[in-house]
Structure 1
Amino acid sequence: MKPLRVAVVGAESTGKSWLTQTLAGVLRARGQAVHTVDEVLRHWCDRAGRTPQRHEQMAIAQQQALAACPPGQPTPESWLLSDTTPLMTAIYSHLLFEDESLYPMALAHQALYDITLVTGLDLPWVADGLQRDGPQVRGPVDTLVRQALERSGMAYRVVYGQGPRRLNNALVALGLEGEDAAAQEVREQGQFAINQGRSVWQCNDCSDPGCEHTLFTRLVKQRSAS
């Protein structure tokens, strides 16, 4: 299958980072070249120690767009998986500041992706410091995301499910085969190694209660106690 440019968007605490990184891991295990794009806002808030003000929103959206289109990357032979896009910055600017001026730029960038995955609201909300406002904003954000995409005539797929089911639903949405039991076991063993400290955890504290980070951290503690 020809590599795709994939945007993962959705309300807060719906597993965007987990889904992006886990999809990347599966694709790499299948021999595919993958370029991932992190969420710029998360790093911005960590550096500034606060959330951005209205006049700072456009610069963040532009940085997010540039991160997805760096010079020379990705190549036509590489998948691109973007953990959020400028569209989410535009959504929050609209919701928090009643500023709709970012939509033209954000939607023009969104049109560069082959497919947009919208993460569903079926995961529990989990606090994440400055990064998340509260469960009450998830519904309005989800609505604004869908309205913006539909208004622009952009197709999207909503991804639901817990843990492996969520991953498999995303793979199917991309036109790929889901993981079988053997492939899932290999990936889970890799996550177990991560939690033993042999490499760095990459999920940015995902909100999926059934994810490998939670399950295998518990196993490590049980083994240490025995």
Structure 2
Amino acid sequence: MRIAILGAESTGKSTLCHSLAARMRETGADVTVVGEYLREWCAEMMRTPLPQEQGGIALEQIRRIDTVRSPTVVADTTALMTAIYSDVLFQDDSLYPLAIEDIRRFQHVLVTATDLPWIADGFFRDSPQGQQAIHLRLQAVLRNHEIAYSMVYGNGEQRTQAAIAAIMPSQFSANADSETYNRWMARCEKCSDASCEHRLFRELTDG
């Protein structure tokens, strides 16, 4: 089983990858987490990629996922996020065919929502405005290509429970927090309006 964790900057993708993998291992699953190659690339080069370097980064992300032999893979981003950043930042849509073909090989696609506080991280992150642009574009691309996905909200255990509910319903133990997630996801799973997302989430958690 392949699970993709997608999302804009500062939305908790890496944290969710590891917490989800840990929870799945508790059920006896053999799970490998594949990290985000872009972060490694930026740390080594001490800068963000140029437009012409995006394709190589996308291919390396795919290669690293493909080399895993564990039955279950949790990918901290895929080539699709590279394609979306190329589109939004550089107006280059040339990576979409490769990225869409790749994402269709995943059994589950989880999108991390923008409810967590945006935190600066050197040159790795742009701005809250940039985050929203990527968030909206990601959902539009998934929707336009009819790729099913589940939105994941919340902090810590709440977010992990939401991910488990989406990919392992038979292992899911309902509680008050998870019931809130199920109601939100059922109402607005494919919403592409960030302000609407925040308003609905506040209504559910404050109500």
**Equivalent position of 1:41 in the other structure:** 38
Change (3 A) 1:92 1:141: same
Structure number with larger C-alpha Rg: 1
Q: Structure 2: which 5+ residue stretches go unaligned?
A: 176-207
Whether 1:138 aligns to 2:131 is yes
Q: Contact (CA 8 Å) 1:123, 1:162: kept in 2 or not? A: yes
Runs of 5+ unmatched residues, structure 1: 182-226
- 1:116 matches 2:109: yes
Aligned residue in 1 for 2:155: 162
Match 1:58 to one of 55, 60, 63: 55
2:84 is aligned with 1:91 = yes
- Residue 201 of structure 1 corresponds to which residue in structure 2? none
Deviations 1:4-55 (A, max 9, x none): 2100001110000000011111111221100111000000000000000000
> Counterpart of 2:99?
106
Q: Which moved more, 1:36-45 or 1:21-30?
A: 21-30
Does the alignment pair 1:79 with 2:76? no
Q: 1:175 Cα deviation (Å)?
A: 2.7
Does the 8 A contact of 1:6 with 1:116 survive in 2? Answer: yes
Task: Pick which of 7-16 and 28-37 moved more.
Answer: 28-37
Alpha-carbon distance in 2 for matches of 1:159, 1:5: 17
2:123 is paired with a residue of what secondary structure?
Answer: helix
Map of 1:27 onto structure 2: 24
**What is the identity, as a one-letter code, of the residue corresponding to 1:128?**
D
Counterpart in the other structure of 1:210: none
Q: Does the residue aligned with 2:81 lie in a helix, a strand or coil?
A: helix
- AA in 1 matched with 2:148: A
**What residue in structure 2 maps to residue 221 of structure 1?**
none
Amino acid at match of 1:86: A
TM-score, structure 1 as length reference: 0.74
Residues 179, 21 of structure 1: CA spacing in aligned structure 2 closer, same or farther, 3 A cutoff? farther
CA distance in 2, matches of 1:144, 1:65: 21
> Does structure 2 retain, via aligned residues, the 8 Å contact 1:169–1:178?
no
Q: Against the structure 1 CA distance between its residues 152 and 127, is the aligned structure 2 distance closer, same or farther, given a 3 Å change threshold?
A: same
In 1, the alpha carbon distance for the partners of 2:36 and 2:95 equals: 17
2 CA distance for matches of 1:164 and 1:121?
17
For the 8 Å contact 1:92–1:141, the answer to whether it is kept is yes
Deviations 1:72-102 (A, max 9, x none): x324xx2110000001000111111100001
For residues 164-213 of structure 1, give each alpha carbon's deviation from its aligned partner in whole angstroms, at most 9, with x where no partner exists. Answer: 111101100113334689xxxxxxxxxxxxxxxxxxxxxxxxxxxxxxxx
Quick one: distance in 1 between partners of 2:29 and 2:126?
36
- TM-score after normalising by structure 2: 0.81
Please give the secondary structure, in 2, of the residue aligned with 1:11. coil
1:179/1:128 CA distance change after superposition, 3 Å: farther
Q: Aligned pair in 2 of structure 1 residues 14, 179: CA closer, same or farther (>3 Å)?
A: farther
Q: Deviations over 1:49-71 (max 9, x none)?
A: 0000000000000000111101x
